[in-house]
């Protein structure tokens, strides 16, 4: 795996920390838990999309684009970070918002919606669930062409083989840190959404012959569908890198913590967000890392990990959306 062959912008000048979670480990009484702090990546508010955008924005600049176009959910971290990358590069940015829960987009909402405005999105357009998102982005690309500009469309979540390279790079970073720290990880747990993070990580670990299994925790789709998506993207990412293809059985994406649907709160998510905040001072988010951590906690309580097994939770960010979910997250009786 030689990622230096791919053009890349740099948005984080250092490795993100890997830290132990001693109080959470003691509370759960089983596995030894660690956390990889990708919530501390560069660009506004950090999070996993920063790694993908390093490669995607480099491609946009190479294509001579003056505008980025992308798509995401109403409180999309991906939209926030694409907008931040555009601002950093002196590009314009247009957002297509897919209203996955009808009526859920509120331009006056806090969290990421406020940041869309602060960072100066050129246009924010809301489309209903089920829209042809590629066609919607193409119409924004055409609008930019009509004013004499050139737009570059970035798929939802930046989850293309090029974007997933960011998480193959993260796999290499984790292996370097593991070696330096002298800490061997037995498993990595990660949120699995548009699949680029999970796929890139898996493809990178397989390319490095790391021997570390990855447990994905779904935030939206049923298990079989998500595992198919992750595997297809992992295979395409390995093809781009010219490295061995992950086996289908290496892909695990559990759907037991999705709850009633994407972005809809669950008791387990609220417990996980409150527990990490109060026991370790780590802020998760309600849509992705809160549900992924709920999965990790649930698995630990079920005895799915061996005593002392070293489990690394990949914190993919998202805390800027916390304030938009205050009503769901406050302790009962405290409004």
Ligand X SMILES: Cc1ncc(COP(=O)(O)O)c(C=O)c1O
**Which residues here bind ligand X, judged by CB under 6 A?**
47-48, 77-78, 157, 159, 191-198, 285, 288-289, 316-318
- Alpha helices per DSSP H over the chain: 22-28, 49-62, 77-89, 112-118, 133-146, 161-181, 196-207, 223-241, 267-280, 289-302, 326-329
Smallest separation, CB 178 to ligand X (Å) = 22
CB within 8 Å of 302: residues ≥ 6 apart: none
Find the catalytic residue in 76, 159, 319, 321: 76
Q: Closest approach of Cβ 318 to ligand X, in Å? A: 3
CB of 23 within 8 A of CB of 31? no
As to burial, measured by CB atoms within 10 angstroms (0-12 exposed, 13-18 middle, 19+ buried), residue 64 is: exposed
Cβ proximity to ligand X, 113 vs 159, nearer residue: 159
Provide the minimum distance between the beta carbon of 36 and ligand X in the complex, in angstroms, as a whole number: 12
Q: Which is nearer to ligand X, 144 or 169 (CB)?
A: 169
For the chain, the C-alpha Rg in angstroms (whole number) is: 19
Q: How is 97-112 classified by DSSP, letter by letter?
A: EEESSTT---TT-STH
Tokens matching residue 160: 């293309």
Q: Is 321 a catalytic residue?
A: no
Shortest reach from residue 20's CB to ligand X, in Å: 21
CB of 279 to ligand X, least distance (A): 20
Q: Between 161 and 317, whose beta carbon lies closer to ligand X?
A: 317
**Is the CB of 33 or the CB of 71 nearer to ligand X?**
71
- The least distance separating ligand X from the CB of residue 74, rounded to whole angstroms, comes to 12
Contacts (Cβ under 8 Å, ≥6 apart) of 238: 203, 206, 207, 244, 245, 246
Nearer to ligand X, 280 or 285 (CB): 285
Collapsing DSSP to helix, strand or coil, 123 comes out as strand
**Residue 157 or 204: which CB sits closer to ligand X?**
157
Q: How many CB atoms lie within 10 A of CB 320?
A: 23
Which residue has its beta carbon closest to ligand X? 318
Whose CA is closest to 285, among 226, 228, 219? 219
Give dist(CA 195, CA 160) in Å, integer.
Answer: 9
Distance CA 59, CA 53 (A): 9
Write out the catalytic residue numbers.
Answer: 76
């Amino acid at each position: 795996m030689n990622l230096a062959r791919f053009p890349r912008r740099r948005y984080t000048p250092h490795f993100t920390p890997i830290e132990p979670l001693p109080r959470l480990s003691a509370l759960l009484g089983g596995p030894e838990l660690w956390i990889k702090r990708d919530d501390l990546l560069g660009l506004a508010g950090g999070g996993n999309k920063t790694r993908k955008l390093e490669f995607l924005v480099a491609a946009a600049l190479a294509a001579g684009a003056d505008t980025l176009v992308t798509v995401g959910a109403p409180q999309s971290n991906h939209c926030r970070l694409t907008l931040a990358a555009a601002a950093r590069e002196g590009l314009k940015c247009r957002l297509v918002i897919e209203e996955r829960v009808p009526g859920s987009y509120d331009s006056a909402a806090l969290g990421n919606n406020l940041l869309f405005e602060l960072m100066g999105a050129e246009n924010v357009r809301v489309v209903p669930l089920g829209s042809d998102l590629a066609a919607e982005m193409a119409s924004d690309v055409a609008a930019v062409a009509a004013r004499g500009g050139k737009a570059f469309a970035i798929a939802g979540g930046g989850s293309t083989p090029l974007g997933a390279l960011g998480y193959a790079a993260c796999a290499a970073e984790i292996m370097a840190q593991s070696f330096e720290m002298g800490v061997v990880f037995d498993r990595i747990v990660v949120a699995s959404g548009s699949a680029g993070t999970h796929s890139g990580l898996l493809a990178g670990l397989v390319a490095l012959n790391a021997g570390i299994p990855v447990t994905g925790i779904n935030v939206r789709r049923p298990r079989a569908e998500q595992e198919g998506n992750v595997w297809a993207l992992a295979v395409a990412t390995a093809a781009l890198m010219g490295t061995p293809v992950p086996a289908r059985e290496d892909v695990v994406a559990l759907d037991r913590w999705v709850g009633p649907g994407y972005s809809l709160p669950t008791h387990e998510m609220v417990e996980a967000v409150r527990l990490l905040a109060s026991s370790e001072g780590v802020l998760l988010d309600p849509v992705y890392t809160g549900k992924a951590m709920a999965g990790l906690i649930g698995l630990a309580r079920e005895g799915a990990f061996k005593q002392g097994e070293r489990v690394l939770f990949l914190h993919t960010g998202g805390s800027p959306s916390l304030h938009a979910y205050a009503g769901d997250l406050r302790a009962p009786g405290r409004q």
